[in-house]
Amino acid sequence: MKKLFTALFVLFLVSISLAAAEWHIETVDAEGYTGDESSLALASSGRPRIAYHFNYGFNYARWDDEWLIENPDPGMNGKYLSMVLDANNHPHIAYFFYTAWDLKYTRWDGDEWLIETVDSAADVGTYNSIALDSSDRPHISYFDYTNYNLKYTRWDGDEWLVETVDSTGEVGGYTSIALDGSGHPHISYAGNLTSYDLKYARWDGDEWLIETVDSAGDVGWYTSLALDDSGYPHISYYDNSEGLYDLKYARWDGADWQIEIVDEAGDMGMYSSLALDSNDYPHISYYDFDDKDLEYARWDGDEWLFETVDSAGNVGEYTSLAIDSYDNPHISYFDHTNADLKYAWYGDLSAVEDVELSANVRDEGVLVGWTITGDSPAGLRVLRGESEPEAISGSIPGSAVRWLDRNAYEASGKGLKPLVYWLEVTEADGRVTRFGPTEAVTFPGAARELALSVYPSPAADSLTVDYTLPGDGEVTISLYDLSGRRVSTLFDGETAAGRHDISCDASALTPGVYLVYLDSCVGTLTRRVVIAR
């Protein structure tokens, strides 16, 4: 009997109910025999990217208000796909070259797909898994089918470094790789292709440390590995032991491996995919072989919660799971009945349709305002800048309609540079959309040239010198009498571009007419001032 649950998510602690949150399912690609061996990743915006098998090659699909699909490497070139996104949200894909039996790798550089052969030492590259380090350099684990070994390769900036990690018997199937905070690889894999154990290897900086995690039967199929914030591994896998056929889960607690059966309600656990949420709680997508359904399980801190995501035909093979910034699951998978790629995500379909954005100068700064058409968002942020805007506000409730930029004058270089603003909208399901920019905002009366004024005039005991520089540089401001004698130097030093003022003591000056002289790297200016008592 299926175990069902209803999950309620609270976002940003604002008054937004997610009672309407539910699973949303769609077909991504229905052209030909497509969608098996999929690999899913989420861009920083929360939008999905999927690499998947298509006929004897592979496609790449991305959501950008509609599904955009392309074929990075045409031909019979793509099985056993594994994909990850870099810091620019560009995809990196490892795959098995079907016709030459090689491990290949492709990445999008912003303009084109760059393709290369990584390892061509006989029949290599199946069961691959890819991860990127902090420099966005790829690391790939994979199976050497010729020698039945686990192999690993990484790009060091100049070349691919390839090594055999484990050659103790028929090992290396169903690999899954993750990198720790030091960039060291951790790999889960099937330890023996005749009896199947779950094995785990990690590089400690000097050598590979290898251990058997679970050998209780025919285990280690379809492994999926993730590391928590402590760098400890969590692994989901399938127990194919006769009479069991269960989804299992193992985690390292710092002292021992903790192993448990997650789902034993029938033949459960094939094609498992694991991801950790913000609490380091595991979420697992997997296939129900008995009922041919897509299943999903998550740990809530006390117990495992289960539900059937899709039961429309024979669905749920080749699952790939990702968790968004709001801990909502997204799953790509294969619809075997129709030979299609499908995608399921959990959340609320409410959406912001449009934003009218404005910015106006006030005495206190720039007041950024907006009018939202559509549903109320979960949260907002104000950004400032042109080509690469930066967030200048914290999280703002979705009900807000304006925000004051109190640092605008300083950010504009004392009024010399125009400012533009954007509004970043976060939907209740975690999707992020940016609206803008506003019209360029300028401060009224802000000089774009060298300027000088002196006030009051006549002055009694004090006066103020106000000046504006169009660029950084040395400035000297001096006071002269009408005979040309320098009475005093009011300022001499390096000054940043923008508007400045200095206060001067005039109490010791003899009443009369004086000249204030400004000398800078971009020119000179003179102003008269009268001292009277």
State the pLDDT at residue 53. 94
State the pLDDT at residue 429. 66
127 pLDDT exceeds 80? yes
Degrees, nearest 5: CA angle 331-327-44: 75
State the pLDDT at residue 44. 87
CA distance 173 to 189: 6
In terms of average pLDDT, the best of 77-86, 256-265, 470-479 is: 256-265
Average pLDDT on 71-83 reads 87
300 pLDDT exceeds 60? yes
State the pLDDT at residue 189. 97
Q: Could you report the per-residue pLDDT of 347-386, keeping only the tens digit for each?
A: 877 678 889 999 999 888 999 999 998 888 889 999 999 8
Degrees, nearest 5: CA angle 33-38-40: 140
User: 469-479 burial by CB neighbour count: b if 16+ within 10 A, else e?
Assistant: bbeeeebebbb
Yes or no: say if 326 and 45 are a contact pair by the CB < 8 Å rule. no
CA 453 to chain centre: 50
CA distance 49 to 62: 4
State the pLDDT at residue 21. 75
* 134: its two tokens: 């902090």
State the pLDDT at residue 497. 79
Average pLDDT on 267-271 reads 97
Average pLDDT on 218-235 reads 97
State the pLDDT at residue 445. 57
85 pLDDT exceeds 60? yes
Mean pLDDT, rounded, of the chain: 90
Share of the chain above pLDDT 70, in %: 94
Average pLDDT on 109-113 reads 95
* 108: its two tokens: 């999008």
Residue 225 to residues 90, 233, 273, Cα–Cα distance (Å): 22, 7, 8
- Residue 517, exposed/middle/buried by CB under 10 A (0-12, 13-18, 19+)? middle
Higher pLDDT: 495 or 164? It is: 164
18 pLDDT exceeds 80? no
458 cis-preceded (ω within 30 degrees of 0): yes
Domains of the chain, earliest start first: 26-346 (2.120.10.70), 352-435 (2.60.40.10), 451-531 (2.60.40.2550)
CB atoms within 10 A of CB 56: 13
CA distance 504 to 292: 85
State the pLDDT at residue 1. 31
Q: Could you report the per-residue pLDDT of 414-447, keeping only the tens digit for each?
A: 777 889 999 999 887 677 889 999 988 887 755 5
DSSP state at residue 440: P
456 cis-preceded (ω within 30 degrees of 0): yes
Per-residue pLDDT band at 448 (split at 50, 70, 90): low
| AA letter at 465 | V
Q: Please report where in the chains the tokens 């040239």 appear, as a residue.
A: 449
Higher pLDDT: 76 or 84? It is: 84
Torsion of CA 476, 479, 480, 486, to 10 degrees: -70
CA distance 108 to 409: 40
Least confident window among 19-28, 41-50, 142-151, 353-362: 19-28
Higher pLDDT: 523 or 400? It is: 400
Nearest to 110 by CA among 138, 82, 86: 86
State the pLDDT at residue 20. 53
* 361: its two tokens: 């100068």
Average pLDDT on 208-212 reads 97
CA atoms within 13 A on the CB side of 422: 18
Residue 410, SS3? helix
pTM (predicted TM-score): 0.69
State the pLDDT at residue 375. 83
Q: Could you report the per-residue pLDDT of 452-461, keeping only the tens digit for each?
A: 999 998 998 8
Higher pLDDT: 66 or 195? It is: 66
Nearest to 488 by CA among 531, 456, 446: 531
